[in-house]
Every structure is written in structure tokens, then in C-alpha cells.
Amino acid sequence: MRSRERQRLSDELAAARHRIGTLEAELTRLSHWDRLIPSLLSPGAFRTQYELDVGRADRYRRPLTVALLDIDRFRQINLEHGYAAGDAVLAAVGALIGEQTRVHDLACRMGGDEFALLLPETSATGSLEAVNRILVELEDLEAGTIRGVSASVGVAQLESGQKPESLLAAARAALEQARADGGGRSAVFAVPSKNGDAVAELGHGDVIAALASALQERDRYTGDHSESVVNLTARVGESLALSSEEISRIRTAALLHDIGKVGVPDEILHKNGPLDEREWEIMRQHPAIGERILRAIPGMGAVARIVRHEHERWDGKGYPDGLAGAEIPVGSRIILACDAYHAMTSDRPYRKAMDHADAMAELSGNAGTQFDPEVVEGLVGYLFGRRQAGLAVV
């Protein structure tokens, strides 16, 4: 009897020890990986390995780069969509970072909406290519009801004798510069030059100006037409009470909405007469071409979406995707109406400009089929006010 009791106690003790061992193993695992994003290291585990790798790279004079990525306007996502949606965005961003990094790279969520990446055997140039790929992918990321995430990234390469804390500080300085420049981009920290510049990057303004110039060189009418449409879109955006940030994106999309025409053959683009069906089929590809051009630029994902859909119709009979109603980005709906008005009231080689009143009637007559009725109301109201004041309409 006593022997059986001792055996029972021994078995219970062994089972208890097994449970304790299992719990300890689980605690160790949890301390090593992020609780929300299991594919990423925890901050503690990242820090330990980070310090070892920085020391090793400095000792053997090997390239090493660290990048800090911060989700733009994450607080606004939480406020507008709720904290569960915010967590879904964090998980999706973390999973994407894990997919886009190499086996020997390290990544973790430092806290909140900031992520850190360590890229051994990689120069700042190589790291910039990697993080820009991530930024482009983020712009088409889907997390629940949220599509498209913008982020800022600061990149710093290890200098000889640099301490781990100093390297992180350099990456943070670059991150702050990327944020200050509007977000949706990356910045590289560099040793300050004689003029005091410490961060080298190409701003969106430079890229936009270069693309607009290329469009102007390709086709003078298309370039001038795009510039004229920009002001109209801004005024309509204001009438719809859109945010200044959204209006800014729409203005950029309006300036570049025909950029895809750089891929249209000259004999079609400059044809002195109406296009036939085969030529129209080629011309109808330009919104998708424009989207591909813009998507290659980090931070331009939202603009690229507007450009892709600027020929969609309110009734769903447009192209390239046949979207209808509110499915169409509001910027695309605004550009479609403003673009149509300016095209109707401009001379072309194969027809004379339409009278302003006739163009207004055309817009109003197609509200609810081709055009968003609210957009037409805003555009017509703005144009009417300008005419009443005796001012030019654009």
C-alpha cells in the first residue's frame, strides 16, 4: 500500500516537473519573440544580438546597416478605425518586414509602431534598396478594412569604432528627417559635410518635378493640360471638405495623371484625328502604365491608385477595372470631371473647343452616369462663381 502511495507521489512530482519545464520553455520562447508578431524578435532578444553583430562587424571591418521604420499617422489609424484595426496593421506590417528580409537579417518591433531592422554585410546603398522595396509593398498592404500604409525610414551604416547606441541614434536622426519631409520615404544618415548637411535623400518634390518635365517633353499639350487640371481639382477638393493632405495627393495625381502616356507610341499620341478602336485599346492602357511608374517610387502608392482609376466611371463602365460609385478613389472621381471639362474647352487638332456653357451642360447631363454627382456639383459651383466674378475659370 505504501509502495503504491510512494509511486503515485513520484508520478505526480514528475508530472509537475514536466509542467514547470514546459512553462519555462514557453516563457523563454515568449521572451524571444514579439507577442503580436511571432515572426519578429522581441526588443530584448534583438538588442542582445544587435550588440553582438555590431561588435563583430566593427572588429572585422565588415559593412552593417541599421534601419528604423515608423508607420506614418498610426495614431490616426487607431482613432479612426479602433485599436483592433491598429493591431491588425502592426501585425501585417511586421509580417511583411519578415517576408522581405533575408534569413541572416534581424527585425523587431521596438515598441508602438516603430520597427528596427539590422542588415549585416550590407552597405547603406544596399539597405536603401531593401527598405524602399518594403515601402512600395506597404503602400498596397491590406489589413482588415485598411488598404495601403505609409511609413518613414531612417537608415545608418556602421562607421569604424562606432558604438551600438550611436548607430541607433544616427538611424533615428535620419528617421526624423524622413518624417519632417512628409513621410512615406527613406532617408540615409551621412557624416555631416562642410555645409552641415547630414542626411542625403531625393525628395518627392524633385521626383514629381522630373516626371512632370518628362511628360511636358513627351507631349506639350498633355503637360500643359495636366498643369491646368491641378487647380481645378484642388478647388473641388476644398468644396468637398477634403483634408489638406488628401488635396495635396490629388493635386500630385492631377499633375501626373497622364504620365502613363509616355508609354503610348507617337503615331497614336500625336495623331491628327480621332483614334480607331485598336488605337483606343492601346491608349486605354495609359492609366495602368502610369500606376506602374508611380508605384516604383516609395511614398507614391496613394497617388498611383488615384492615377490608375482616373478613367473609371460612376456607373461602372469605365476602365481599367470597371469600378463604380464610391469604390473609385475620390481623387480619381475629381480628376475625371476636371480633366473632362478642360479637355472639352480646349482646342485640339481634330476639333474646336466647346463653349463653356455647353461644357457645363455636358458635365451636368452626365452626372450620375459618367461623373460623381457631388463632384460635378462642386466643380460647376466653383466655375459658376468664377464666371460671376468675371474671373478666368482656371
Q: pLDDT digits over 90-106, tens only?
A: 999 999 999 998 988 99
Q: Rounded mean pLDDT of 127-131?
A: 90
Angle at 75 between CA 72 and CA 76, to 5 degrees: 85
Among 147, 181, 201, give the residue marking a domain's end.
201
Please indicate, yes or no, if residue 21 is contained in any of the structural domains. no
Residue 28 has pLDDT above 60, yes or no: no
Of 180, 201, 222, at which residue does a domain stop?
A: 201
Does 188 share its domain with 64? yes
Give the mean pLDDT of 171-191: 83
* DSSP-derived 3-state class of residue 278: helix
How many residues can be counted in the chain? Answer: 394
Q: Check whether residue 158 and residue 264 sit in a common domain.
A: no
| Helix (H/G/I), strand (E/B), else coil: 361 | helix
Q: Looking at the structure, do residues 165 and 255 belong to the same domain, yes or no?
A: no
Q: In angstroms, rounded to a whole number, what is the distance separating the alpha carbons of residues 276 and 256?
A: 25
Beta bridge partners of 109: 115
The verdict on residue 19 lying in a domain is no
Domain coverage including residue 97 = 36-201
Give the end of a domain, one of 153, 175, 201.
201
pLDDT for res 197: 43
pLDDT in tens, 306-349: 999 999 999 999 999 999 999 999 999 999 999 999 889 887 66
Residues 265-305 pLDDT 10s: 878 887 877 888 999 999 999 999 999 888 877 678 888 89
The pLDDT score that the predictor gives to residue 203 is: 47
In-domain check, residue 11: no
Both 132 and 239 in one domain: the answer is: no
How many domains are there within the chain? 2
CA distance 158 to 362: 62
Pairing of strands 186-189, 151-157: parallel
163 lies in the same domain as 81: yes
Q: How far is CA 187 from the centre of its chain?
A: 15
